[in-house]
Amino acid sequence: MSERVRVAVVGAGGWGRQHARAFSQHSKAELVGVWSRDLGRAEARATDWHTKGFDDLDRMLDETTPDLVSVCLPNTEHFLLTRQLIARGIPLLVEKPLVFDLAEGETLIREAAERDLFFAINFNHRYAVPVLRARDDLAAGRLGELEFLTWRFGGEGGSDHHPHANLIETQCHGIDLLEHLGGPIESVTADMTDAQGNHPTVVATLRFAGGAVGSLLGSYNSSYAYPGTHLLEVNGHRGRLLIEDTVKRYTFSTAGEPTREVWEASYFDDRSRSFEQTFDTHLDALLPALQSGAPPPVPARAGLRALTVATAIIQAHQTGRRTQVPSG
């Protein structure tokens, strides 16, 4: 592979703009094409970043010979096109959610594994500075044995495309981070609001394999304009950490101490305060991994895992009983 990874972006929507921007601006990448079903949109996006637009996927792949394809499509349209790309044997980075159906997700993971394919997913919350600091403090043992973890995240959203859209496509970040910081979730209970068969708000109680308990509260009937729209807390016997609005603030407190350690981005540190640029930081890890033949830093299997936990939450709500989460 050359010094710069040749990348084609599939999708010309809102978040696809961030994919095109990030790859175009990254020193280890070269954006070689943008695909959309609408040629006009593909060409307009490509023009922004001095590359070529396509509405024929196979033609783009044949002409541009990418080292990596980055897939950023409407959330419910991931399965068929991702499977088509897996069949072409091209390394992939896909957006969350992996898919909405567990069997479809298992199919994608299996077919990629059969080809020993580099297959990554963009859980970019992992690359926010507060989350990176949280991982460091947990690894250093500063929190001690974990007692509870809680995630809250609410904003505007629509559930017309899937009754559990909020849980699967947005709270997947919460499921991923809670396990990223607290280890595997082994069982869940849940309740949800009901809006003509859709479930815009979900609350789940969680039991972790390590003995801690936790909660997840997510809603599409809130507002991203509200202060404190997002909060993640991890509480241990020796200390507590708080992550506010993903990129805004990180606070560590030692048990019994009235003073706290607080991180916030400094005046000129626009990148650290930008949610969008958590994707750039993910690429800082992903592109060298691809070039060196290492596994992706966030494998697509993490997307399947988040969907597995989400499916257990749905089952717990439907049955009114605590539901075991399959391991893996």
Q: Give me the residues of the chain with pLDDT under 70, please.
A: 1-2
d(CA 71, CA 78): 8
pLDDT score at 1: 63
Residue 139: what are its φ and ψ, rounded to 5°? -65, -30
pTM over 0.85: yes
Show me where the domains of the chain are located. 5-124+278-299, 126-272+307-324
Topology at the third CATH level for domain 126-272+307-324: Dihydrodipicolinate Reductase; domain 2 (3.30.360)
pLDDT digits 0-9 by tens, 204-218: 999 999 999 999 999
pLDDT digits 0-9 by tens, 19-62: 999 999 999 999 999 999 999 999 999 999 999 999 999 999 99
Contacts of 186 (CB under 8 A, 6+ apart): 207, 208, 209, 324, 325, 327
CATH architecture of 5-124+278-299: 3-Layer(aba) Sandwich (3.40)
pLDDT score at 158: 79
d(CA 98, CA 78): 7
pLDDT score at 126: 98
